Structure 1
């Protein structure tokens, strides 16, 4: 489970105490809603399926993948053994590119073999990220999003996210979008509440888009 509404509120209130710009933005647009993703293999598989496509397109591909595997008698894509048993042609028929099919197989193999135990990731955030990014197709951003939304780790900071960079710049009054490096640096003072800061940045981005 991700951060709860109460956890987000408490963290943002704490951030507003140390960063006046957050207090101003919070007063203007209010608190964000929680964002949840179920922990486990299927969430990471959906992350791979959704890379570089819209949310609607990703949902359509996943639904097609479910249909193809079911029709073939292989079961559900939520079972890594089903992905491993599927042929390249079946995965392509579901809409997965050759690259994404390879990524899906890599993830399925890591989980099915027990090399990646998603129920027992290290408590240390950086160690957990390191385990996740060993999977082909899972980069740092995907690992951070998983840990934030599926495990509710409170201090995850996806500084490589473009929307986070844009909104951190807007909230702090920068003239240009800060780099990933600068986005990480300015957030050091926000520990251990950076997960809520990221959620608020996405909320701020949505509010700005609404105004536009």
Structure 2
């Protein structure tokens, strides 16, 4: 298995997409250049990232950030993992605003970390992205979409297409001028020409969806 570095050559990815999909290429020209996600360059702790993803689920970014800040203060640490989460009981988590189900998910994550079931960043560097998904989705509260956001925004894997993401589907619908959203299966087939840079296509599809839905305002899609 080859070593996977965080991030990839975005200029090469852009040229590939423009060369292989004329419909997307027109939108790329309209949107303009995108910056690489800043999370590619930041220190990355998979357990901490997963814990934050659990807290952020189904909440606005502002509300979730407030809850995370309370938890950090309660455990006296900026890192959420087994050792620090052990400093607070479930009642304490609830007092911070963490729901019962999310508290259970955080405990399951901590248990799996202690059991050695959560790959480290170093281990992930030698794993195919499908293997990373397979390793992490057994964690309570962690689904494929959550892992895909990690693969896109933190690990910088080049060929990730989150076909269940509504924004991705809306972007593809607009690129093709379709009257309906593509199904995940249709989008999977549609995106074959974007490989091996489907991540960069995804970032453009999100931006295209933002242009349609929010007057150009960028929708946060990762707590990273």
**Superposition TM-score, scaled by structure 1 size:** 0.89
- In the alignment of these two chains, the number of paired residues is 206
Structure 1 distance, partners of 2:209, 2:10, is 17
CA shift, 1:85, in A, is: 3.9
Task: Name the SS for the 2:205 alignment partner.
Answer: helix
CA shift, 1:184, in A, is: 1.2
Structure 2 distance, partners of 1:90, 1:168, is 43
Residue 25 in 1 paired to residue 31 in 2?
Answer: no
Q: Are the aligned partners of 2:44 and 2:154 in contact in 1 as well (CA < 8 Å)?
A: yes
Which residue of the partner structure matches residue 52 of structure 1? 58
Deviation per residue, 1:44-100 (Å, 9 max, x gap): 111111000111111111001112223xxxx45433212134211011011100000
Which residue of the partner structure matches residue 100 of structure 2? 98
Residue 39 in 1 paired to residue 44 in 2?
Answer: yes
Pairing partner for 2:189 from 185, 189, 205: 185
Which residue of the partner structure matches residue 222 of structure 2? none
Q: Are the aligned partners of 1:159 and 1:165 in contact in 2 as well (CA < 8 Å)?
A: yes
Q: Are the aligned partners of 2:51 and 2:81 in contact in 1 as well (CA < 8 Å)?
A: no
Task: Name the SS for the 2:155 alignment partner.
Answer: coil
Task: Name the SS for the 2:7 alignment partner.
Answer: coil
CA shift, 1:152, in A, is: 0.8
CA shift, 1:26, in A, is: 0.9
Residues 113, 85 of structure 1: alpha-carbon distance in 2 compared, 3 angstrom cutoff: farther
Q: Are the aligned partners of 2:56 and 2:64 in contact in 1 as well (CA < 8 Å)?
A: yes
Structure 1 distance, partners of 2:113, 2:38, is 22
- CA-based RMSD: 1.9
Task: Name the SS for the 2:38 alignment partner.
Answer: coil
Which residue of the partner structure matches residue 67 of structure 2? 61
Structure 2 distance, partners of 1:135, 1:112, is 13
CA shift, 1:211, in A, is: 5.3
Task: Name the SS for the 1:151 alignment partner.
Answer: coil
